[in-house]
Copies of this chain bind each other. A is one copy, B any other.
Amino acid sequence: MTAPNPYVKQYLMTAGPTPLPPRVLSVMAEPVVYHRAPAFDTLFARVLGRLSLVFQTSNDVMVFASSGSGAMESAVANLVGPGDPILACAAGKFGERWIELGEAHGADVVRYEPGWGARLDPDEVDRRLAERPEIQVVFATLSETSTGVVHDVQALAEVARKHDAMLVVDAVSGLGAAECRQDEWGIDVVVTGSQKALMAPPGLGFVSASQRALDHAAQRPGGTYYFDWERTVAELRKDAPATPFTPAVSLLAGLDVALGMIEEEGLERVFARHDLLARAARAGVAGLGLDLFGDPDERATVVTAVELPETIDGGKVPGLLRKRGITANGGQAQLKGRILRIAHCGYFGAFDIVVSLAGLEQVLAELGHEVELGAGVGAAQRVFLEAGVGAVAPPA
């Protein structure tokens, strides 16, 4: 693919698609294998085993050729029938997707919307479920990429359980970067995609559903065919697990290598690396005298949202970074021009944070904001130096 200017080296610093490890890229260039042959069976079985590790679950993990939004739709289409009351929690763009999905499927959507950048409050969920005890399914977000906030889904799962409701978590941008212990925390459904912390190309969606969720879905047949859980799980439970429709074999080959790297690094170390990168990013932002957007806490290990100074034209920041070869996320929808998001989810190391902060420093200066060059980078550097060499080293 051609860069806009081929003489500027490109740095992909977005929260998804995230940069891919060279090993993942190179396996994608190998010949495709036929999906009903032993070579694929071996690959797919290994991928499924590795997915269980990342989901921290004993459920069958369903694999769809789709983006994460397709996997999200599968949860709504399988669990919710027309007129069913559901609770959708939304504190950003991706939370709002649950509302839109619920409405597209004719659900009676009860909304909990504390505002973009807020953290979902388990007590507020508790109150709404107490008011509407007939609600059987609650939808929430692990990492709200649009704001940088990572929600406390463990606490949400407790509240849902108290009301005998199921919790469905959109972990598209979070799984593998922020803790999400599905079985231990009792989350009924976890949905994710390939192109964030899983270090694989976009185009694969995953759903891990508890037996309770599968049973609930089995009582509501129809409404979807491609994303039908019963059909999908039946194929997974065969002697040689398979998919009902042609899988995206090249992407699965890439995912297999990426998940192997996560296994090699170890999930605990992966989380520790994301935590360190996030702390360094936050230190860098503070070093530049800027504020974080919204209400993040130490769980915010996926993306760091920086409030841009009101005195500059924030809408220009992504374009000026791009001229320097850095592709980064500005704000979406109502946050356009107001924030910049520093990504650290997936195949990121210490010096990627340095690059993002250095780019931000240059662009702030160009836009006339008074900035001490090196102040942001330096603050991040101190965090890394304290942590010690190798603390943020994903496998090469």
Q: A37 within 8 Å of B by Cβ?
A: yes
A327 to nearest B CB, angstroms?
A: 5
- A203 touches which of B19, B33, B65, B222 (Cβ 8 Å): B65
Interfacial residues of chain A within 22-64, with CB under 8 A of chain B in the complex: 25-35, 37-40, 42-43, 64
A197 to nearest B CB, angstroms?
A: 14
Contact A65 B70 (CB under 8 A): yes
A104 to nearest B CB, angstroms?
A: 4
Contact B250 A322 (CB under 8 A): no
Chain A interface, >50% SS class:
loop
Contacts of A40 in B (CB 8 A): 1
Contacts of A104 in B (CB 8 A): 222-225, 228
By a beta-carbon cutoff of 8 Å, the part of chain A in contact with chain B is 1-4, 10, 12, 14, 16-17, 19-20, 25-35, 37-40, 42-43, 64-70, 72-73, 76, 100-101, 103-106, 193, 195, 201-203, 222-228, 244-251, 253-254, 256, 322, 327
A389 to nearest B CB, angstroms?
A: 26
Contact A32 B17 (CB under 8 A): yes
Contact B4 A30 (CB under 8 A): no
Excluding A104-B222, A202-B246, 10 further A-B contacts by CB distance (< 8 Å) are: A29-B29, A32-B202, A65-B70, A67-B247, A69-B246, A70-B245, A101-B225, A105-B223, A105-B225, A203-B203
Contacts of A1 in B (CB 8 A): 27, 30, 33, 39-40, 43, 253, 256
Whether A246 touches B73, Cβ cut-off 8 Å, given contacts A33-B12, A322-B38, is no
Whether A202 touches B65, Cβ cut-off 8 Å, given contacts A3-B39, A4-B39, is yes
A256, B250: Cα distance in complex, Å: 16
A176 to nearest B CB, angstroms?
A: 16
Give 15 A-B contacts (CB < 8 Å), ordered by A residue.
A4-B42, A12-B34, A20-B31, A29-B29, A37-B322, A38-B322, A65-B67, A67-B247, A69-B226, A70-B226, A73-B226, A201-B250, A202-B246, A202-B247, A202-B249
Contact B203 A248 (CB under 8 A): yes
Contacts of A106 in B (CB 8 A): 222
- A193 touches which of B4, B68, B246 (Cβ 8 Å): B246
- A29 touches which of B25, B101, B249, B322 (Cβ 8 Å): B25
A281, B396: Cα distance in complex, Å: 47
Contacts of A203 in B (CB 8 A): 65, 203, 247-248, 250-251
A29, B103: Cα distance in complex, Å: 39
Contacts of A19 in B (CB 8 A): 31-32
The 6 A-B residue pairs with the shortest CB-CB distance, nearest first, are: A203-B248, A29-B29, A201-B250, A104-B225, A28-B28, A69-B245
